[in-house]
Structure 1
Amino acid sequence: MAEQQQNKFASIVWAVTEDKFYKDEIILEFHSFVRIISGEMKVVQAENSYMFGAGDTLLFPRNQLSAVIKRPKDGRPYKAVVLGLTTERLKEFYTKHTLQPILPLAHKTRKFDPHPLLDGFFASLASYFELEDELPIDIARLKLEEAISILRSLDNNIDSLLADFSQPGKISLADFMEKHYMFNMPIEKFGYLTGRSLSTFHRDFKKAFYTSPQKWLTKKRLELAHYQLSEKHRKPVEVYLEAGFENLSHFSFAFKKQFGYAPTNLI
């Protein structure tokens, strides 16, 4: 069974994954505030990878391209409480609150140390997911405001992230693709994240790499997989998802076509 989302209302979600593992490429349109209840989640990004487990609390910034792999652990499925801090909610919040001094801050996934404020907040949400009816909108709004207030209390520079409502602008296509080629997502998304329409992306891509995006992406992903297998001594089943392939059989076929031998030959 694929990932299920239960009791979804006002951007507060109880996420449950019953599969052996669940993998997705995400590019969120809003910040996501998460407490993992059970299971584990690996997050792979252009310059970092993270492993999160039960009890961890994290914040995913919007427009942050990530590969997310969720798995059961210790006999328990992946479960998490997820709050979507949408731009509309944040703008509403900041009309009533004064911005703290803003310093430059990298828009990256962050993990918060254990804290009574976090424990108390997520414990207060647990009983709401037993409701048969939708969570009343006024309560949902209060809980989202509480979440933002807690984040501001724990990180006095968080406003530089939460109060940044800008959209992606046109950036270097070559630099972006070299850092993010392993993410398996539609070409339209690559265009959006580099500030281009689909037609402009294709034109600029050919100027930069002298080939089509599809051919270039496949070659780069296979080279990454080959490096992981030959130099890091990992197994094909550990590599194919992180290299940007959807399934092991397609990866094995493409690998043998490119290099002339199966990935298992490198084990």
Structure 2
Amino acid sequence: MEYLAKYITEDIKLSCYEDKFFKSDIMFDQHMLVWFLSGETRIVQAAATYVFGKGDIFLIPRNQLATIINYPKDGQPHKTVVMHLSTERLKDFYANKTIDSGRLKPPGIYSFSNHPLLESCLASLIPYFDMKDIPEDIAAIKITEAISILRTLDRGVDHVLGNFEAPGKINLSDYMEKNFMFNLPMEKFGYLTGRSLTTFKRDFKKAFAMTPQRWLTQKRLQLAHYQLTEKKKRPLDVCYEVGFENLSHFSFAFKKQFGYAPTELLTRRLGN
């Protein structure tokens, strides 16, 4: 995979994946505003799957788990302008603002399609990626402009961008049942459930009577079997969507669990 990136600052970049495929499980530490120039992305979360392509603009809130699968499309690479909305900048922005308590929305990805105001803001960044001498305050100005536009389009976004609290302690069983397909370090799962790593492992064993890794593998294989047999999906797609890092590891674990390889299910379907 060839990955190219140009930066105005560490918060604003032009990102390009030239290869035909890239997949990653991510917990976003910062809010990200993304504008698609070409290619396609599938974002898989516990409650929904999103597909974005050329012209789309969307906001991914921080502290959310997602599987990101990037593709080229129509002969063009996966290319995006990405703006990170850091906690530091957002605290400065919201320091003297009041958040309307009546517009609370559940967390999720905010899609703004190809809205002209946001597109104009993000498109104005393109010339700066090829400049050596960039105006000192341009990043701060553009990020402030983008936040102001987001609030104009959906004031409910204040509850996301203006929330600076760390995740509180939540029900571990419920959270893991909804998010087991995301392949993240145990420390991240601990943080997102409001626990230290030690407390996470202790509470996990109490809840599930086994280690996190063993439980996660079993849950992912069960979901994979369902996707293959009931949803008729391809082994390659299932492998990445249920939390495995590569097809060979998935096939080995699947055969060990069920006694036959995932490709055998595909062969059976094609033979019927």
TM-score bin, normalised by smaller chain: over 0.9
Deviation at 1:99, TM superposition (A): 3.8
Partner of 1:233: 232
Displaced runs of 4+ in structure 1, greater than 4 A?
none
In the alignment, the residues of structure 1 paired with residue 2 and residue 202 of structure 2 have an alpha-carbon distance, to the nearest angstrom, of 37
Superposition pairs of residues 131-210 of structure 1, within 5 angstroms: 131-133=131-133, 135-210=134-209
Report if aligned partners of 2:37, 2:54 keep a CA contact under 8 Å in 1.
yes
SS of the residue corresponding to residue 156 of structure 2 reads coil
Superposition pairs of residues 69-84 of structure 1, within 5 angstroms: 69-84=69-84
Letter in 2 for 1:265: E
Letter in 2 for 1:209: F
SS of the residue corresponding to residue 108 of structure 2 reads coil
Partner of 1:48: 48
TM-score calculated relative to the size of structure 1: 0.96
Deviation at 1:110, TM superposition (A): 1.4
1:205-243 alpha-carbon deviations (Å, 9 max, x no partner): 010000111110000001111111000111101110011
Deviation at 1:170, TM superposition (A): 0.6
Aligned residues: 266
Partner of 1:126: 126
Give 5+ residue unaligned stretches, structure 1. none
Do structure 1's residue 253 and structure 2's residue 252 form an aligned pair?
yes
Report if aligned partners of 2:35, 2:57 keep a CA contact under 8 Å in 1.
yes
In the alignment, the residues of structure 2 paired with residue 36 and residue 83 of structure 1 have an alpha-carbon distance, to the nearest angstrom, of 12
In the alignment, the residues of structure 1 paired with residue 98 and residue 218 of structure 2 have an alpha-carbon distance, to the nearest angstrom, of 49
Range moving further from structure 2, 94-103 or 226-235: 94-103
Deviation at 1:160, TM superposition (A): 1.4
Give 5+ residue unaligned stretches, structure 2. 267-272
SS of the residue corresponding to residue 158 of structure 1 reads helix
TM-score calculated relative to the size of structure 2: 0.94
Superposition pairs of residues 85-124 of structure 1, within 5 angstroms: 85-100=85-100, 102-124=102-124
Report if aligned partners of 2:32, 2:61 keep a CA contact under 8 Å in 1.
yes
Partner of 2:269: none
Report if aligned partners of 2:57, 2:115 keep a CA contact under 8 Å in 1.
no
1:77-109 alpha-carbon deviations (Å, 9 max, x no partner): 100001000111011112254545552211211
In the alignment, the residues of structure 1 paired with residue 189 and residue 100 of structure 2 have an alpha-carbon distance, to the nearest angstrom, of 33
Partner of 1:3: 3
Report if aligned partners of 1:67, 1:183 keep a CA contact under 8 Å in 2.
yes
In the alignment, the residues of structure 2 paired with residue 238 and residue 99 of structure 1 have an alpha-carbon distance, to the nearest angstrom, of 41
